[in-house]
């Protein structure tokens, strides 16, 4: 049996060897750090037996899927510790998440801080014992009976759902603790050298408020104590940068009880939002996009035609108008289809790039709402590109270049994921394969690396997702490119080709910011509220030292305002040190201190938010500096 390893090397092994055995053969260090594996692109347990020629990649904690297996095992260790300390607790689910893991428990009363400390200590004891994990399978009926004997009703419910598929159900055992689980998991618990339980919140079983309320415990784990400490330090820094806290302090936005998940933008926040929108319009005009606007509420017939009524209705807000069902749009795409259909198109019109800053509404569970990062109403910077099959690759490349330009403007690095066909999808497999290959070819030709995200595409087509990295190393999914053969078919879009015949266009859905609101939240945290000069709601604050300096201050304000800068004067009878501190807290990029000396010389004493005192400067030089910062969008 031939096993092709990462990098292309091929080794021969006897049929029946496990992925773990291969890792051990490749080196003791790799075996010790191995968390899971990929067999022919599918993430698997290291215990998986290899019985045919295959491609094998050993995954460590440095790999995303390796981290998931590591953290998933940590969630089982936490559940084991909870059952030791609180035997009557009922188990539900305990997955890995983007940063760590959680487990939901049905408890008589929520865990206290002292309880979490006790659970964490018990986890450390379990890790120190070095328990081996073993995997076994039961038939559906055996699994249901076993879980019923264990008095785990939530697990019984899950097993019954699996029973409908008629497949055996897998379990993982570590000492006295056994959990229904698909895996993968570590070989033993020893690698979990550094664990920390972070918080405890409420959650509903299956995310449904009509179900039992559970106690969700979040945790994190690392192979080294130093990595845990670095992570905890990052969390402390993240708290200081929390966009909800800074948004309030800087008077940018508010979330009201009267509109949970529906953000209110305050005057300063609107300046920031509009500057982003101005930038969006500027770069899209340069790239040949036409801007459109489509209605917020549209008929149910449209959403049935688009497929959203069948595939997305639970996330949509609906209403009745004149005895007919309508829905508030969760996406801009169907409206874009109707705009395309307003007249017959020719191949000479293509590619047709139409952009829209559309206000969309999506129903999110209340527990998932988080400031501007997860809202129920947001502005999506959408665009839809209609093209011929021959234009697909070039148009994808054009969008990738546009997204790259935007992220570089803000100083973000990023990585790309290719998300493939989900189980719940529309259209023929052949169309999906063609679309997926087109996305792959375009980014490969541009020289970009990418990761495969199996089964996470939109229901109408595969997509490229752009995950940007902020200054704390956190990743955020923002830009996306989705290739769609389905909606043009459903809406019967046509163009007249060079042959005089009617043809079906291909379509790209894409966003750059993703959501203006969410992007603002990311920017606030990335820059810790100290937004770049060109984005700052207030760019310059004039600080007269005496009443005699106010007249010169007013002249400065008028001159700078006439040049298009956002400038205000603090003319209060307060000490200059107080005024400077307040301007610093408001993250104002430039403070202009003017006293009698500056009045006489017709200069300003410039203080920079980052650099401190820059000394005296004539107004013309300051204007040149600020003009350059605006033009070049320096971050």
Instruction: List active site positions.
Output: 333, 362, 380, 382, 384, 463, 509
Q: How many Å apart are CA 182 and CA 184, to the nearest integer?
A: 6
Degrees, nearest 5: CA angle 182-186-189: 120
Closest CA to 456 of 64, 186, 58: 64
3-class secondary structure, 192: coil
The DSSP output letter for 364 is: -
Q: Are 72 and 184 in contact (CB under 8 A)?
A: yes
| Token pair belonging to 225 | 């104590």
d(CA 268, CA 247): 10
Helices (H), 539-618: 550-562, 576-585, 596-601
- Asked if residue 535 lies in contact with residue 252, where contact means CB atoms within 8 angstroms, the answer is no
Q: What values do phi and psi take at 446, rounded to 5? A: -80, -10
Q: Partners of 5 in the beta sheet?
A: 56
Strands (E), 124-232: 134-138, 169-174, 177-180, 194-204, 213-222
CA atoms within 13 A on the CB side of 237: 15
Alpha-carbon distance of 558 to 564, in angstroms, equals 10
Q: What is the DSSP string of 381-447?
A: EEEEEEE-GGGHHHHHHHHHHHHHHHHHHTT-EEEEEEE---SS--S-HHHHHHHHHHHHHHHHHTT
Cα distances from 547 to residues 171, 339, 554, 570, 590, in angstroms, run: 78, 59, 11, 11, 21
Contacts of 102 (CB under 8 A, 6+ apart): 75, 94, 95, 216, 217, 218, 219
Distance of alpha carbon 168 from alpha carbon 151, whole angstroms: 20
Q: What is the rounded CA–CA span in Å between residue 189 and residue 184?
A: 13
Q: What is the rounded CA–CA span in Å between residue 247 and residue 249?
A: 6
Residues 623 and 45: their CA atoms lie apart, in Å, by: 62
Q: For residue 548, give every residue at least 6 positions away whose Cβ sits within 8 Å of its Cβ, in sequence order, or none.
A: 596, 599
How far apart are the two ends of the chain, measured CA to CA in Å? Answer: 55
Sequence-ordered list of residues with C-beta below 8 angstroms from that of 60, at least 6 positions apart, any chain: 30, 33, 34, 35, 66
The H or E element that residue 5 is part of is strand 2-5
Record the tokens describing residue 119, joined without a space: 């659970």
Give residues with Cβ within 8 angstroms of 446, minimum separation 6: 397, 400, 401
- Cα separation, 442 vs 436, whole angstroms: 10
How much of the chain is in helix, strand and coil states, percent to nearest 5? Answer: 40, 30, 30
Query: Six-digit token pair at 551?
Result: 């007249």
Residue 380, number of CB atoms within 10 A of its CB: 23
């Amino acid at each position: 049996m031939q096993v092709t390893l990462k990098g292309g090397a091929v080794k021969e092994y006897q049929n029946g060897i496990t992925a773990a055995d291969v890792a051990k053969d490749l080196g003791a260090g790799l075996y010790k750090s191995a968390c899971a594996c990929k067999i022919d692109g599918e993430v698997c347990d290291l215990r998986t037996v290899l019985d045919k020629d295959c491609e094998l990649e050993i995954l460590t904690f440095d790999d995303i899927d390796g981290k998931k297996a590591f953290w998933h095992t940590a969630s089982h260790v936490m559940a084991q510790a909870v059952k030791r300390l609180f035997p009557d607790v009922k188990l539900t689910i305990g997955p890995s998440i983007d940063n760590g893991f959680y487990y939901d428990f049905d408890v008589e009363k929520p865990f206290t801080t002292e309880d979490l400390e006790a659970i964490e200590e018990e986890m450390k004891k379990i890790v120190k014992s070095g328990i081996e994990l073993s995997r076994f399978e039961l038939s559906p009926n055996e699994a249901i009976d076993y879980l019923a004997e264990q008095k785990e009703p939530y697990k019984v419910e899950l097993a019954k759902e699996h029973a409908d598929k008629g497949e055996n159900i897998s379990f993982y055992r570590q000492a006295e603790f056994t959990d229904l689980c698909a895996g993968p998991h570590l070989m033993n618990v020893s690698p979990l050298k550094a664990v920390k339980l972070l918080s405890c919140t409420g959650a509903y079983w299956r995310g449904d408020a009509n179900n039992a309320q559970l106690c969700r415990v979040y945790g994190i784990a690392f192979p080294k104590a130093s990595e845990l400490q670095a992570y905890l330090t990052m969390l402390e820094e993240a708290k200081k940068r929390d966009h909800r806290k800074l948004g309030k302090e800087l008077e940018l936005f508010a979330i009201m009880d009267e509109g949970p998940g529906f953000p209110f933008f305050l005057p300063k926040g609107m300046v920031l939002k509009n500057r982003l929108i101005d930038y969006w319009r500027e770069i899209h005009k340069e790239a040949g996009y036409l801007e459109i606007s489509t209605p917020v509420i549209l008929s149910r017939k449209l959403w049935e035609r688009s497929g959203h009524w069948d595939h997305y209705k639970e996330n949509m807000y609906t209403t009745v108008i004149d005895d007919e069902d309508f829905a508030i749009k969760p996406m801009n795409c169907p409206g874009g289809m109707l705009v395309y259909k307003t007249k017959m198109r020719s191949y000479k019109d293509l590619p047709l790039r139409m952009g829209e800053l559309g206000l969309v509404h999506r129903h999110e569970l209340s527990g998932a709402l988080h400031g501007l990062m997860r809202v129920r109403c947001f502005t999506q910077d959408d665009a839809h590109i209609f093209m011929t099959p021959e234009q697909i690759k070039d148009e994808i490349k054009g969008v990738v270049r546009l997204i790259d330009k935007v992220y570089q403007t803000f100083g973000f690095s990023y990585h790309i994921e290719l998300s493939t066909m989900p189980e719940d999808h529309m259209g023929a497999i052949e169309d999906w394969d063609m679309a997926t290959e087109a996305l792959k070819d375009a980014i490969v030709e541009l020289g970009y690396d990418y990761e495969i995200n199996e089964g996470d595409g939109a229901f109408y087509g595969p997509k490229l997702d752009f995950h940007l990295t902020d200054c704390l190393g956190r990743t955020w999914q923002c830009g996306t490119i989705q290739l769609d053969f389905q909606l043009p078919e459903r809406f019967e879009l046509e163009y007249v080709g060079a042959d005089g015949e009617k043809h079906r266009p291909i379509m790209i859905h894409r966003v750059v910011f993703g959501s203006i609101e969410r992007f603002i939240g990311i920017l606030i945290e990335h820059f810790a509220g100290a937004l770049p000069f060109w984005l700052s709601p207030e760019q310059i604050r004039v600080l007269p030292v005496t009443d005699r300096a106010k007249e010169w201050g007013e002249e400065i304000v008028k001159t700078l305002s006439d040049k298009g800068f956002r400038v205000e004067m603090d003319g209060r009878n307060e000490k200059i040190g107080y005024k400077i501190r307040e301007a610093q807290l408001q993250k104002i990029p430039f403070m202009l201190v003017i006293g009698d000396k500056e009045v006489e010389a017709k200069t300003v004493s410039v203080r920079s938010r980052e650099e401190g005192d820059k000394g005296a400067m004539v107004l013309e030089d300051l204007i040149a500096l600020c003009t350059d910062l605006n033009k070049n969008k320096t971050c």
